[in-house]
Amino acid sequence: MSVTREAVETVLRQYTDPHLNQDPVSAGCVRSIDVQGDRVSVQLELGYAAALFRSGWAQMLAMAIEQLEGVSRADVQVDCVVRPHKAQDQVPALANVKNIIAVASGKGGVGKSTTAANLALALAREGARVGVLDADIYGPSQGIMFGIAEGTRPEIRDGKAFIPLEAHGVQVMSMAFLSDDKTPMVWRGPMVSGALLQLITQTAWNDLDYLVVDMPPGTGDIQLTLAQKVPVTGAVIVTTPQDLALLDAKKGVEMFRKVNIPVLGVVENMAIHICSNCGHAEHLFGEGGGEKLAAQYNVDLLASLPLSMAIRSQADAGKPTVIADPESQIAMIYQEVARTVGARIAQSGQIIAQSMPKIVISED
């Protein structure tokens, strides 16, 4: 019995990419299907970074195709190609940055900066070129989380642009690198907005697939100015289950909707505490809040993370969980968040034409 392309497509349609929530055919991931007698070769292209997922995905699909009558061998190749996607209208793109992800919360103290750091590191582990911009000018913490020594200063190129520092394979820039840690920023809103916009536009990022922006908490003038003037591809909202945090998180969602920035999903921190002595589980800040928020706005609940001493201590030590304990359950949750965020961006709409070479993540 001869094998047909249609038969191969039928097999592929039976398997759902867990990040795109679609089968590879419906998602437009199939680049080629080549049938040579009893041998089948399939080439898929994912629009998001997925280095830790794609080999297993390829193997699963190959095994499924080999169950077809008449197929003796199937080879499936999965490549990841991250392309730039459209941001807000009339906001110019940022040089050498394909996609900007804003990590925001309406309320401080909900783990936003820790989430931003682990998201960036997880995207890098998936094979993407990643940068972090610490826009939380009143409490910059990314330098600490990435283990960058106090007093380290970025180099300046031609007197015009800052060269971002690099740590754990991620490019990092923060206002903290330009000021004394012991001197608080006593600035009014317009001054902060202007300084941040200057920092964003005058940093010489090196061909990034994703720039993760750790936004200041709140939904005031500073956040609105950044949301209107920085080409943000999508936003991740961070909250805790606590009613007060959820109330402020809703304001964050509404702010991004007001300026036509897609909300990619919700991360719920401190969802549950498990006693290290007796193992008792307790919802210290309430239960199910993140899920309700995501359902209300019809977005993904990207993760529900526990109140964990390890997450805090590892970030404080300059090696967030994704780097400090990459095989842990919590690190795997962050990897899943990274792939899902990338997938939502890939699904978000119009791809921007670009002159720079496309980045292909392969297993060479």
- Going by the annotation, the residues of the binding site for ATP are 106-113
Reduce the DSSP state of residue 364 to 3 states and report it: coil
Work out the number of other CB atoms within 10 angstroms of the CB of residue 31. 14
Binding-site residues sit at 106-113
Which 8-state DSSP code applies to residue 339?
H
Q: Which residues pair with 281 in a beta bridge?
A: 274
Separation of alpha carbons 29 and 22, rounded Å: 10
Work out the number of other CB atoms within 10 angstroms of the CB of residue 272. 17
Side-chain half-sphere of 304: how many Cα atoms within 13 Å?
17
Alpha-carbon dihedral of residues 104, 109, 110, 115, nearest 10 degrees?
60
Confirm if 146 and 169 have CB atoms less than 8 A apart.
Answer: no
Q: Which residues pair with 173 in a beta bridge?
A: 133
Question: Which two tokens mark 276?
Answer: 């290290």
Which ranges of 66-175 does DSSP label H, i.e. alpha helix? 112-125, 142-145
Question: Which two tokens mark 208?
Answer: 């990034």
The b-or-e profile of 191-218 (16+ CB within 10 A means b, else e) is ebbebbeebbeebbbeebbbbbbbbbbb
Task: Give DSSP secondary structure letters for 167-215.
Answer: ETTEEEEEGGGGS-TTS-----HHHHHHHHHHHHHTB---SEEEEEEEP
Which ranges of the chain does DSSP label H, i.e. alpha helix? 5-12, 54-65, 112-125, 142-145, 189-201, 221-229, 243-258, 289-296, 309-316, 321-324, 329-346
Residue 190 CB burial class (10 angstroms; 0-12, 13-18, ≥19): exposed
